[in-house]
A and B are shown apart, each in its own frame.
Chain A
Amino acid sequence: MSGTWMTLRAWLLMLPLLVIMVAVIGWPLVDTVRLSFTDAQLVGTAGNYVGFDNYTKMLTSSNFTRTLSTTTWFAVVSVAAEMVLGVLAALLLNQEFRGRAVLRGLMILPWALPTVVNATLWRLIYNPEYGALNAALTQLNIIGDYRSWLGEPGTALAALIVADCWKNFPLVALIALAALQAVPRDITAAALVDGAGPFNRFRFVILPYLAGPLMVALVLRTIEAFKVFDIIWVMTRGGPANSTRSLSILVYQEAFSFQRAGSGASLALIVTLLVTVLAVAYATLVRKTAGSAT
């Protein structure tokens, strides 16, 4: 069979997917770009061309800079904690002990729990009047009075980060564990014979095997964390006093609560650009790590 026909047939088989992708992703993205240069409302007026007005307005608003720093803080802290906890859990699960298989199986549970159920569960745990956290901490005499964990700007974001970590560190652990199991035993044994201590063995023997898969996990988790909406919406809706508002929630408010489709679209594209830059920077890093690890 000729190569041209093979290629043509392959394109024909791809066609249904590509048509749908253009309809539900390509066209909306292009239309978002168009809208971002107009003052369109969500319903009703089609809007007039306003140039870069929306962009300058959004980029210079204090809402944007504050939300950007909240989102960055959320992403950096939760992803860093997930990576550290995930690797530690993987190192543990790679040891030999009774019940290891069961414990490995349990790790799938937080990952499988729907995000909204996870958020609801932690919202109940943090409840200021009847929550389990307040009850446990007072019964253990760690705090005197019940506190409103999600109701105070000082603790709300930290409380959200804990809930996000609990759901996501097991995934990092499972990825790291799969990588650990690929480390050949004779290499670790050889390092041991050569007198390498536990830290050096981790740093120079095991970590090179972990680096590639962990980088991929880091990229995916960071992109996810930067786009965060669900868990924050269910737990705090961005409050109190906007202290937990993420970029996605800001776009939602602008475009849907205030119905300003034009400026909402410009804000959405700014977020998209940030995520893309982040992803490209990471992808370069991944390629470098993968190159040096092998």
Chain B
Amino acid sequence: MERKGPVFSAFIYVCAILLAAVILAPLAWLFVMSISPAADLAAKPLRWWPQVADFSRYAQLLSTVENSAGAAFTASLRNSLEVAGMATLAAVVLAVPAGWAVSRTPSIGWSLSMVIATYMLPPVALSVPLYMGLSYLGLLNNVFGLALIYLTILAPFTTWLMKSGFDSIPREIEAAAMIDGAGLFQTWRIITLPLAAPVVATSALFAVLLAWDEFFYALLFTSDQRAKTLTVAIADLAGGRVSDYGLIATAGVLAALPPVMIGLVMQRALISGLTSGGVKG
């Protein structure tokens, strides 16, 4: 191996600290804003660290008192959970049979390629007919309608992940079960799905992240507390006349917590999922 001098290793540590600072500083500041008293945030020169930590905004946003900022926030939180949950469930239910079919019968693989190619489509290319269609069906400003639309994003992605997951399960195991007289669904239940459980979980978490992050369709297709998701609620806060910037930061922290938790817990699986496309080319 290369011999590394003290200058080189000092250089490495300086770069590492710099990188850590670049990543952490904006995130830390978001949290500090959320617990700083409004006066500290408006002070000149700016007070970088609050004299007293003030967690009251968290209580304020998570309260359900009618017509408060909290009511709008908790409603959007519930909508986000509902839409992400329904869309993820539907995407996985569609993806498991489709992913298995393509994995075991490569001759129909082109149909999945076509589905995945829709990733290139900008959402604006679908938005006008989708708006008119939802309006016709009475599904505008409705969590079911929004969850249905989210399948445009979630389903191709989960199917692709499931397909690569099934690829790594040997067919011979399934064949053995079938020779013993098990039908297709029985084989899935006893052999395939237990083996594919980690991939199903990874796909589902990816789908939750995508749905949680979605903004464009939610902005277009929802209009009030019955269906507005968190991303739209936060954009409203950021673009509105809220004078307490700490409250906006608090909403940001709360909205970021679930995906960040998923990201940290799932790190290994997420990275291998993200890179599998890259490595396979």
Contact = CB atoms under 8 A, between A and B. Distances in A.
Given A109-B23, A117-B256, A135-B45, A255 B128 contact: yes
Contacts of A92: 12, 15-16, 19
B252 A121 contact: yes
Contacts of A178: 271-272, 275, 278-279
Contact of A28 (B101, B107, B129): B129
Interface centre among A9, A124, A216, A275 (most CB of B within 10 A): A124
Contacts, number: 288
Interface in A1-26: 6-7, 9-11, 13-14, 16-18, 20-21, 24-25
B125 A120 contact: no
Interface stretch (A52-60, A61-69, A153-161, A222-230): A222-230
Interface string A269-294: 10110011001000000100010000
B: contact size bracket: 35 or more
A198 to B, nearest CB: 9
B274 A120 contact: no
A174 B12 contact: no
Nearest to B271: A174
A: contact size bracket: 35 or more
Interface in A93-137: 95, 97, 99-100, 103, 105-117, 119-125, 127, 130, 132, 135
19 contacts: A9-B105, A14-B112, A18-B111, A24-B148, A35-B129, A92-B19, A109-B263, A114-B255, A115-B231, A117-B234, A121-B29, A121-B30, A130-B41, A182-B279, A212-B278, A223-B119, A255-B128, A271-B124, A275-B120
B198 interface: no
B262 interface: yes
B130 interface: yes
Nearest to B20: A103
B173 interface: no
A219 to B, nearest CB: 10
Contact of A110 (B23, B120, B274): B23
A251 interface: yes
A214 B104 CA distance: 30
B26 A135 contact: no
B227 interface: no
Contacts of A10: 101-102, 104-105, 107-108
A259 B227 CA distance: 22
Given A14-B102, A112-B262, A230 B151 contact: no
A14 B251 CA distance: 40
Nearest to B254: A117
Contacts of A11: 101, 108
A124 B248 contact: yes
Interface stretch (B53-61, B65-73, B90-98, B189-197): B90-98
Contact of A120 (B122, B129, B248): B248
Contacts of A27: 129, 133
